[in-house]
Amino acid sequence: MTKNWKSPKQFVCLFTQKAKILFNEEPAALTPKKVYLVLANLVKDLIYDDWLATEQRYDARQTKQVYYFSIEFLLGRLLDANLMNCGMENMAREGLKELGFDLDAIMPLEADPGLGNGGLGRLAACFIDSLAALQLPGHGCSIRYQYGLFEQHIVDGQQVELPDTWLQDGFPWETKRSDKAVHVRYGGSAYMRPDGKGGLECVHEGYSSVLAIPYDVPVPGYRNHTVNTLRLWQAEYTPDGLFGQGQGGDFRKVLQYRDTTQQISRFLYPDDSTEEGRKLRLMQEYFFVSAGLQSIVRHYRGQHRDLREFDRYVALHINDTHPALLIPELMRILMDEEGMGWEEAWRITVASTSYTNHTIMPEALERWSIPLFQSLLPRVYLIVEELNRRWLAAYRRKFPGREDKAEQVAILWGGQVRMANLAVVGSHSVNGVAELHTKILEESTLHPFYEVYPERFNNKTNGVTHRRWLLESNPPLAALISDTIGTDWIRHPKKLKELLPYRDDPSFQEKLAQVKQDRKDALVRWIQETRGVAVDPHSLFDIQIKRFHMYKRQLLNILHVYSLYLRLLDDPDAVPLPQTFLFGGKAAASYGEAKVVIKLIHTVARLIDQEPRVREKLKVLFLENYNVSLGQRLFPAADVSEQISTASKEASGTGNMKFMMNGAITLGTLDGANVEIHRLVGDENCVIFGLRAEEVQKYYREGGYSSWDLYRQDEEIRRVLDVFQKNPLFSQLYEDLLRRNDEYFVLKDFAAYREAHQEILRRYQDRPGWLRASAVNIAQSGHFSSDRTVSQYARDIWKVKPIRV
C-alpha cells in the first residue's frame, strides 16, 4: 500500500489501476459517479496504514480510550474532508485534471450521509473530527441506518418526506467487520435464583437474539497520522436467533422475528407516534449500546487482566439519554458475565460513564412505559428496578419525609422509566452545552440532583469543527485569513484572534468584502442552476437555517418579513436597501404546526414575488432539503445570522457558531450560546433583542402575558395577523398566538425584533463598521471550535491525553 501520492502522475497511475479493479474500465470510460467511487477508494487506501497503526499504538501504550455513544452522527460528505485531512486535495485535483475530470464537479455526487436529525447529531460528527485532530484516543459508536433522515421535498409550499437512500451506490468509506459481530438479546423472561454459593444469580431464558455487525468508518485527524474509528452497527437476522422458541416449528413466529430484526437498523428515528414505532426505537437504543459495550469489554479483556480497572482505561460518554441503557447494560455484563457483585459493578459503571444533556424542553425528556421496557428487556429491567430501589432508599435517608422530592428523582415513576434520571444517577459527570443551559439545569430542571451531587455538574459549551465549517466550506476566506496571519490558526483556532488588529485595516476590509461577495455570487449561481430562481447578489443575505420548531420562532421571522411587505405596499422607500431572507430546515414528519410555518413562508414568498412594488426590495426563498452540504454553501454567504429562539429554550445552538466563523453578524436573543457570542464580540458586533431567559421563566411561573393586549396596542401586529384570517390553513397559528396566549412570546418580542432589524440595516449601511464587525466575529470564533470543547471534555471528564502516532 502506498503512503502518500507523490505526484499527479503517480495519482493517475493508481487511479487507473483502481478503476480497473473496481469496474474493469479505463478512466475515460467512467461515469462521474464511478470517478467519485474510484477516488474515494484511493483515499481510503491512503488512510488505511495510519488506521491500523493508530489502533496498534493505542494498544501498545495501554492508553485510556473514550467511546462516544450517540444515536446520531450527522457526518456530511467525507471525500472533501478526508482529502483535506490527508493534505492530498491539490494532488487529487491535479491528477483528475490530467484525466479530464474536475474535482469540484465530482464532489457533489457523493451522497450526504444524514444519520442525524440536527444539532445533536452534527455535534457528534464535529466531536470525532476534533478528537482525531487533537490525537485523542476516542471513537464513535452508533447505528448504520439503512435510511437516514428523510429527504424533504416541497410540493405546493408544503413539506413532503421521501426516504433517504444514501447507501444506494454503496458507502466507500466503511469496512464491514463480520468477524467482530456480537449478539444482542431481546424478550424472554429473567429471574433471580440461588447460585449455590450463598448468593443469587440471574437466569434469562426464552429470549431472541439479533446479530450485530460492525461497519467501521475511519476518522482521520488533520495531517497528523491519527485515524480513529466510528463504529456503526447493523442488525441482521440469524437463523438460530430464536432461543428456545421457533424450533417447535412455529413458522409465523420465525417470520415475525426475522421482520422485526431487519427493522432495527432500517430507519433513523422511526416515527414514535405509534406503539410499534416506540418499541422499535427502544430496540435501537439497546441494540447499539449492548453491541458497542460487548465489543469494548471484549477488547478490554484482550488487553488487561482485571475488569476492576475498567474505568482506568475506558471512558464511556452518552450523548443525551438515547444511549443511557449503557448504564444497566454495563452492570449486567459486569455482574452476569464477569461475576462481580453489585457494589463493585456500580462503582465501575459510574466511574466510567458521563452524560451530556441537550435540552430542557420537558416533552423531549425520554420516558419509556414500564410494560414495554420490561417485556423487551427483562434482565435490564431487573437491574433498573434494583437501582431505583437502592437510589430511592438512599435519597429518603438524606431527605426523610420529603416524598415530593423523592418523586422528582425517582427513575421509575408513574408506570414509566425516566431516562434522564437514570443517566444522572449512573454518571460521574453531567454537563450542559452552554453556560445558560447548564445554569438552568442546575437551578431548575435537574435541581434535586444538583443538591445531592453538585460535583457532578459542569458546563461544556458546544463547538463546531472549524476545519469543515471554515477551511473546507469557505476556501477564499480561509486563504484570506492565512495570507493575513499565517496558517497556525488551522491547528490552533484561538489564533484567529490575531485578525483583531486588522479589523479596521482598509485593505483587509476590502478583501473581506470581496470574499463575502464571492460566496454570495456562488450561492446565487447555484440557486439559479438548481432551483431556477433569481436572487439579487447585492442584497443583504439574512439566513435562518435549522430544524423547524415553534421555540426556534421561524414564525417571528416570517411575520416580520410580512410586515416589511405591508410597509412597502404603502411606501416603496420604506426599506433602505434590498434584502433576501433565506430559510431552510426540516420539520418532524408528525409536527403539524411546524409544517404550517413552512407553508406560511412559501405563501409570503409568493405574495412578494407577485408584487412589483415590493419584489425589487424583498425576496423570500425557502431552500428545500437543508442538510450538511447545503449548510456548507449557506454559512459562507450569510450577512446576518438569525438566532431568535425564545430565551431559555435553545440549549446552545451550533449554527450560530458556523455563521460567526464565516463573518456573519448575529441577530439574536440572549439564549443558548448566543450569550457567550455576545460576551465575546460585544454589543457593537452583534444585535441582541427580546425577553431575557429570567423574564421568560417568570412569565411561565406567573401565567404569561396577554397577547390580546398587544394585538390591540400595536397596529402593525394587528395588520400582520390579519394574514391568517385570509387563509384557513393558518388558523392554527392564529389560535396559538392569540387564543392560546403565545407560548413562545412571538408577539411579545415582535416590536423588539422589528427594532433589531432596523438596527441591522443602519449598521449594514456603514460599510467599514459592518466589515469591522464581521472581522471581529471571525477573530473571536476560535473559541467556538470543537477543538476547544473536546479538549475540555478530555481534561475535565474523560481524563484522556493525546497520543502521537
Residues in contact with ligand Z2T by CB under 6 A are 117-120, 123, 320, 358-359, 364, 433, 462, 650-654, 672
Shortest separation between residue 356's beta carbon and ligand Z2T, angstroms:
7
- C-beta of 449: minimal distance to ligand Z2T in Å? 17
Q: Is 658 a catalytic residue?
A: yes
- What totals of helices (H) and strands (E) does the chain contain, helices first? 33, 23
Q: Is 698 a catalytic residue?
A: no
Determine the residue type at 598: I
Query: CA 184 → CA 279, 339, 775, distances in Å?
Result: 15, 19, 52
Residues 465 and 789: their CA atoms lie apart, in Å, by: 10
**What residue ranges in 63-137 does DSSP mark as E strands?**
65-69
DSSP assignments along 288-343, one per residue: HHHHHHHHHHHHHHHH-S-GGGHHHHEEEEEESSTTTTHHHHHHHIIIIIT---HH
DSSP type of residue 489? G
Distance in Å, CB of 786 to ligand Z2T, minimum: 11
Residue number, 115 or 141, with CB nearest to ligand Z2T = 115
- Take residue 105 and report the three cell numbers written for it: 464537479
DSSP E strands, 138-226: 138-143, 148-155, 158-164, 175-176, 182-186, 189-194, 200-205, 208-220
Give the SS3 label for residue 232: strand
- Element (DSSP H or E) covering residue 278: helix 275-303
Q: How far is the CB of 159 from ligand Z2T (least distance, A)?
A: 18
- From residue 281, give the alpha-carbon distance in Å to each of 116, 275, 322: 14, 10, 9
Whichever of 120 and 136 has its CB closer to ligand Z2T, that residue is: 120
Tell me which of 317, 511, 520, 547 is the catalytic residue. Answer: 547
Alpha carbon separation from 777 to 76, 472, 491, 499, 683 (Å, rounded): 25, 18, 19, 10, 12
Does the annotation count 546 as an active-site position?
yes
State whether the Cα torsion 167-168-171-177 is positive or negative.
Answer: positive
Sorted by sequence, the CB contacts under 8 Å of residue 574 that are 6+ apart come out as: 564, 567, 568
Distance in Å, CB of 271 to ligand Z2T, minimum: 15
CB atoms within 10 A of CB 713: 10
For ligand Z2T, the closer of residues 135 and 152 by Cβ is 152
Q: How far is the CB of 71 from ligand Z2T (least distance, A)?
A: 9
CB neighbours of residue 754 within 10 Å: 18
Angle between helices 475-485 and 506-531 (to 10 degrees): 170
| Smallest gap from residue 504 Cβ to ligand Z2T (A) | 33
Among candidate residues 147, 144, 113, the one with its CA nearest the CA of residue 230 = 144
Per the CB < 8 A criterion, the answer to whether 802 and 135 are in contact is yes
Indicate which residue of 358, 549, 617, 754 is catalytic.
Answer: 358
Residue closest to ligand Z2T (Cβ): 119
**Annotated catalytic residue 139:** no
User: Which grid coordinates belong to 487?
Assistant: 496558517
The catalytic position among 437, 466, 519, 546 is 546
Coil, helix or strand for 118?
Answer: coil
Catalytic residue among 516, 552, 567, 619: 552
One-letter amino acid for residue 584 of the chain: G
> Which CB atom, from 248 or from 362, has the smaller least distance to ligand Z2T?
362
Rounded to a whole number of angstroms, the minimum distance from the CB of residue 269 to ligand Z2T is: 8
Least Å distance, CB 736 to ligand Z2T, is 20
> Residues 226, 353, 438, 654: which is the catalytic one?
654
Residue 119 or 668: which CB sits closer to ligand Z2T?
Answer: 119
- Residue 123 CB, nearest distance to ligand Z2T (Å)? 4
Residue 785 bridge partners (DSSP): 464
* Strand segments (E) across 336-421: 353-356, 367-369, 412-413, 416-418
- Clarify whether 552 is annotated catalytic: yes
The residues carrying an active-site annotation are 358, 546-547, 552, 654, 658
